[in-house]
Chains A and B, each alone.
Chain A
């Protein structure tokens, strides 16, 4: 029963008990930028792209429960500027070269760049050295493009019933590690059909042999905006999730 509502940028948004601001927004067709959030996963709250103002207080929409009467501000220049800064920091932190990246056009990070009209990063690029893992016959791990959203970590645990990925290190030395005796993907029990192998928002995890199946120009984010595609996908998954809960 949609018996309660709150507002996002003055639009009334219905919600059910237990839904986050993010879920309620997406189901109501309102886009709140996000990278670490995924409709099938437990909310996480690490990318901070979804930061909105809730009764004037900045909070992540993905981990904040919806409640009746909340006044949420989302699509403002100030918040989008903050999101642009976060995105610039993510681009400066890793090594991203979109023109030569298989994920281009499928990539949520790249699409977010277009969506937020980010043209460059004024921050110094950090050019980290991170190990590439090509040991798995069907999945490639290119850590240069990892943004530590832990979607793969959560998907492996929550959806695949495995524990293939984890984070190690701290601060800027945070790194994605693989749960296998050698630490290599090839020695883990990851399969290409796992959710974990397919849920990465960037080109850090790529299923091999599929990269160019959809030609450039016809990819999900080519020509279509991130918000449009995300809303369609998320609403479908969220509804599916709700159905299966019944």
Chain B
């Protein structure tokens, strides 16, 4: 079964290994290729991979076992993973999944007897504006409806290779509903670089500082300060763009990567100029593989016109290039130090900090890590000056923010709002009619009830990496919260006790409450105890925020729980 082209699996792996070389940090790309070829990473080939990279065998096994898109067990020739994001759920994911399972005669979580197909679930694929969505052998198939399911079933049954499936099945819409200064700005390749080179590095740093630009990945660290601190750190430097975009309901980087790739790479190149980094990575989440080819093309274009490579813009010694590296289904890789571990070929568990990446990042060297949107905004600040940002927004949050809106509204998609815009105004813009509430910032963010719709989008009020989920009045809050707790339990890296066990316990308790197996009072007490411990003792942001949805529900809509408890009573 594992034979292709006549050569043995061992020979094929030797080919893959030879092409990649012996740098152990290339373990993940090697494993991804092996997985693609064999629909798994065959355990007996792990020895060869380990030996080739001079790694312990157990290291390879531990890495394979971590990522959702890698497996020791064989998956189907067609491996179908449906996004179980709450928005996809509400758009009928479960019914679609059941139908696929029935028509393909493949129970979810299993591989069909003949090895042809397997069906499973995966965390949010970043297509909630056009869901329900699935990944077929890693390729995104949005907008699943009955027609598309029928089509998929017949393509699978007749064994049509994925490359020959109708292109329309993979078409992802832009869905830009409301562009603002960032989405409307454009640059001709090299324009921002040339503008900055003229003024010198100190001038660019000052522009960035004066602009008040803050990181768009969630934490909001001042970008100018980060670039300056990283520049001042001694030694060889690296630069990374974080395009892991894993927070459920976030898909704004998806569009920036399509519509503003030049501005992004220009921002990264500016970062390289400031810090002296000669090597950069774009860490792209595995779910966005469909973006890769176009991005590689744009990188080539930039190499061709001297905007990457040696002597960039004709400046002697200005040397920089960018490599795209793919994630493999792990939300934790969005956390910057876990991302670094992933790039180095290790199990992606967040590092102890300090030191921070600006002084000790990739391979222990100073590393500049920024979000996609941050690099794009930095490029425009370089081109238009700090006032491009300060002319709108609030004092503490200058500029605008890209928001990806999904859920129960007339026009889900990408919106750009000045900081300071209220939830009310956003709901109006996307056509949401008196919803039950909105989840701002994804499961790690906050649940906002109508009483709080006056609150504003800003670092000083409602902070979000870009996720904005609208829930209509017919939705079951308990189902939402249970879904969020399942997400965290699935994505916890497992390193530290409070999060590894706490996220699983939370999810278990929520399930029991939903099933009426647990009364309010006792479960509430345990959930509170868990929250305190998870916030107080977790190693990284995932564990510290994983109890937010539960707590929001308890505090803001306590009736949801008590109604469930009294209506069902306790069944043991």
Contact = CB atoms under 8 A, between A and B. Distances in A.
Contacts of B434: none
A151 B354 CA distance: 22
B75 interface: no
Nearest to A65: B354
A58 interface: yes
Contacts of B538: 48
A124 interface: yes
User: Counting chain B CB atoms within 10 Å of each CB, which of A48, A58, A175, A183 scores highest?
Assistant: A48
Interface in B32-50: 47
A170 B509 CA distance: 20
Contact of B508 (A86, A124, A179): A124
Interface residues of B, number: 43
A177 B504 CA distance: 22
B150 to A, nearest CB: 35
Nearest to B529: A85
B497 interface: yes
Tell me what chain B mostly uses at the interface: helix, strand, loop, or mixed: helix
A167 interface: yes
A148 interface: yes
Nearest to B56: A163
B57 interface: yes
A122 interface: yes
Interface in B327-354: 330, 347, 352
A236 interface: no
B65 A169 contact: yes
A89 interface: yes
A170 B505 contact: no
A130 to B, nearest CB: 14
Contact of A48 (B58, B64, B496, B529): B496
A34 to B, nearest CB: 12
Interface stretch (B97-105, B313-321, B380-388, B487-495): B487-495
Given A46-B539, A92-B501, A122-B526, A170 B508 contact: no
A57 B57 CA distance: 39
User: Counting chain B CB atoms within 10 Å of each CB, which of A47, A63, A171 scores highest?
Assistant: A171
Interface string A45-89: 111110100000010100100000000000000000010011001
A123 interface: yes
B500 interface: yes
B10 to A, nearest CB: 15
Contacts of B541: none
Contacts of B529: 85, 122
B496 A168 contact: no
Given A45-B496, A163-B58, A167-B62, A58 B537 contact: yes
Interface string B467-497: 0000000000000000000000111111111
B500 A148 contact: yes
Contacts of B64: 168
A174 B56 contact: no
A89 B502 contact: yes
A231 B283 CA distance: 45
B352 A45 contact: yes
User: Counting chain A CB atoms within 10 Å of each CB, which of B489, B503, B532, B536 scores highest?
Assistant: B536
Interface in A5-55: 43, 45-49, 51
Nearest to A163: B56
- Which of under 10, 10 to 19, 20 to 34, or 35 or more describes the interface residues of A? 35 or more
Contact of B497 (A43, A46, A124, A163): A46
Contacts of A58: 536-537
B498 interface: yes
A93 interface: yes
Contacts of A183: 61
Nearest to B67: A170
Interface in B342-374: 347, 352
A174 B501 contact: no
Given A46-B496, A82-B533, A177-B61, A169 B66 contact: yes
A170 B512 CA distance: 23
A112 B66 CA distance: 30
A170 B491 CA distance: 8
Given A90-B501, A181-B47, A171 B57 contact: no
A171 B497 contact: no
Interface in A73-127: 82, 85-86, 89-90, 92-93, 122-124, 126
Given A169-B66, A172-B504, A90 B497 contact: yes
Contact of A168 (B62, B522, B536): B62
A166 interface: yes
B533 A86 contact: yes
B415 to A, nearest CB: 33
Contacts of A170: 65-66, 330, 492-494
Given A85-B530, A86-B537, A181-B47, A166 B494 contact: no
A60 B526 CA distance: 23
User: Counting chain B CB atoms within 10 Å of each CB, which of A86, A175, A178 scores highest?
Assistant: A86
B59 interface: yes
A174 to B, nearest CB: 4
A117 B435 CA distance: 48
A82 B533 CA distance: 5
A221 interface: no
A163 B526 CA distance: 39
Nearest to A166: B58
A63 B497 CA distance: 16
A168 B497 contact: no
Contact of B505 (A82, A123, A181): A123
Contacts of B352: 43, 45, 63
A165 B57 CA distance: 10
A111 B130 CA distance: 54
Contacts of B533: 82, 85-86, 89
A126 B47 CA distance: 33
Nearest to A181: B47
Nearest to A123: B505
A137 B459 CA distance: 60
Contacts of B501: 89-90, 92-93, 172
Contacts of B496: 45-48
Given A166-B62, A168-B58, A168-B62, A124 B505 contact: yes
A173 interface: yes
A47 B26 CA distance: 30
A60 B501 CA distance: 18
B490 A82 contact: no
Contacts of B509: 124
19 contacts: A82-B532, A82-B533, A85-B529, A89-B501, A89-B505, A89-B533, A90-B497, A148-B500, A163-B58, A166-B56, A167-B347, A168-B62, A168-B64, A169-B66, A171-B492, A172-B500, A173-B494, A174-B500, A180-B57
Given A48-B539, A168-B65, 5 more contacts: A82-B536, A82-B537, A93-B504, A168-B66, A171-B500
Interface of A: 43, 45-49, 51, 58, 60, 63, 82, 85-86, 89-90, 92-93, 122-124, 126, 147-148, 163, 165-175, 177-181, 183
